[in-house]
Structure 1
């Protein structure tokens, strides 16, 4: 089974990238790992755990969860599961450990991928993808404009928001 990592900003656009990864590859069965990285907390209170919450909990909306389910359903037997994984850390060595722990086989990140920080601690993943030892698939249809400025119409039906 192939594990494909796709960067996510917790919007429908990252799910469109996952759909493109499915269309651009010939995978019989795969897991889609939606990935977002965060800088470690630097505040002394956050380091002690006071008031610290995982940012991904705040970012994963119910419409996003429903859209993930719809993506999985639209690809039937080809997608085994869709997993959202967040990493705390911003170094290549931490990312290499993440890749190894999650058995990532391929990273899908289009050539003109536009990083949209969704939290003040969000990390641009493109830096992490370089020299990680995992092939990066860069082909795909992508407009050069930032995703949040363009309406998105996926090929699978989206849940009502």
Structure 2
């Protein structure tokens, strides 16, 4: 089997945060990758949130229909190089947790976006980019910087803001 890189990309589950994924995939189309779109999530300490609500429940609440459609369009566009793509939650800021998460998930690379401000509407979501920068040495994975400074437009979170202005032939699969 061909060597596949597992790449973690921070997200806030907004459509515009998929610009990070697009920028990464457009510049690195020579290698097969598996993408993990992740954000930090504080699950709290109530017994209901610890035992009664699953990660899938939290993800279903965070992912909008447009975000899911955007992910499908990315999968369609890069189907030759994209082995898999899924969303996940990092539920702790602890360095041991991060190290074990990356080892268990077999993540080999982290994309660190520059020029993007994460802004989730959910109160439990936190930005993991600074956390990853701080602990990257302990985690033991390679970092890939992505600069979006000239591409950021505040307040835009719609699919047509960047998907439909490209000359892609995209189909939903």
Q: TM-score range by the shorter chain?
A: 0.7 to 0.9
Indicate which of 142, 151, 157 corresponds to 2:149. Answer: 142
Q: Residues 31 and 41 (structure 1 numbering): CA distance in 2 closer, same or farther, change over 3 Å? A: same
TM-aligned CA deviation for residue 6 of structure 1: 0.8
State the partner residue of 2:90. Answer: 87
Contact 2:8 2:35 in 1 (8 A): yes
Structure 2: gaps (5+ residues) = none
State the partner residue of 1:29. Answer: 32
TM-aligned CA deviation for residue 47 of structure 1: 4.5
1:101 matches 2:104: yes
Distance between the aligned counterparts of 2:81 and 2:51, measured in 1? 43
1:64 matches 2:73: no
Question: What secondary structure is seen at the aligned counterpart in 2 of 1:5?
Answer: strand
Q: Deviations over 1:122-161 (max 9, x none)?
A: 122023212332222113333485x6513631245789xx
TM-aligned CA deviation for residue 113 of structure 1: 2.9
State the partner residue of 2:16. Answer: 13
TM-aligned CA deviation for residue 69 of structure 1: 1.2
TM-aligned CA deviation for residue 46 of structure 1: 3.6
Aligned Cα root-mean-square deviation (Å): 2.6
When the two structures are superposed, what TM-score results if normalisation uses the length of structure 1?
Answer: 0.80
Contact 1:6 1:32 in 2 (8 A): yes
Structure 1: gaps (5+ residues) = none
Number of aligned residue pairs: give it.
156
Distance between the aligned counterparts of 2:22 and 2:34, measured in 1? 12
State the partner residue of 2:130. Answer: 127
Contact 1:34 1:83 in 2 (8 A): yes
Q: Residues 112 and 30 (structure 1 numbering): CA distance in 2 closer, same or farther, change over 3 Å? A: same
Distance between the aligned counterparts of 2:51 and 2:105, measured in 1? 27
1:153 matches 2:156: no
State the partner residue of 1:3. Answer: 6
